[in-house]
Structure 1
Amino acid sequence: GGGARKVLRTVAMVALVVTAAAFGPAVGGVLGFSTQMGAMAAGTGLIMLGGSMLVNALLPPPMPEMPSLTGRGDASFSQNYALSGARNRAR
């Protein structure tokens, strides 16, 4: 479930890194940073921030599955998540 989406998400993030490295200094220069290092850092950071927000909106990361906290009829219930403390009982 979702294997193709994970691959597409990874490819999109790699493409974002390459794009940010290529266009970061130009974007920083347009924003008015005078030093080359400052322009590169600012431009690359802005592209990475905006691009990662876009990738997360279009291809959201998978949500982790949480076990049931009630423990009623669930064989996978874990005592680690019990609010009332540990109890000795057969699973």
Structure 2
Amino acid sequence: MTVDRGQWTLLEAQPGKGDVLAEFLRECHGLAASETGTVAWLALRLSETTFGLLATFQGEPARRVHLAGAIPAGIAHAAGELLAGEPDSRPVDILGAT
């Protein structure tokens, strides 16, 4: 298995909404686990209000499927209620993975 693509996203919660966003991201884990092309999906809490997401894939087609899927749609839907600003999402190349 060659993991060569990823998607890195930073999310900033509105003041007082960090725990709500954390729970929302915990619930997204099941969605990520059901995506056949997603090799790994990690949700990280970096501070009370800052969160990071890292998803890894085997190839560009799998990344595109993920980006068109339920997790990005759910984040976009919840953005007005939970996020202090737009998500900062960037494609990344995976240089090494174990």
TM-score (norm 2): 0.33
The structure, 1 or 2, with the larger RCO (C-alpha pairs under 8 Å, 6+ apart) is 2
Rg larger in structure? 1
The structure whose residues are more often strand, as a share, is: 2
TM-score (norm 1): 0.34
The structure whose residues are more often helix, as a share, is: 1
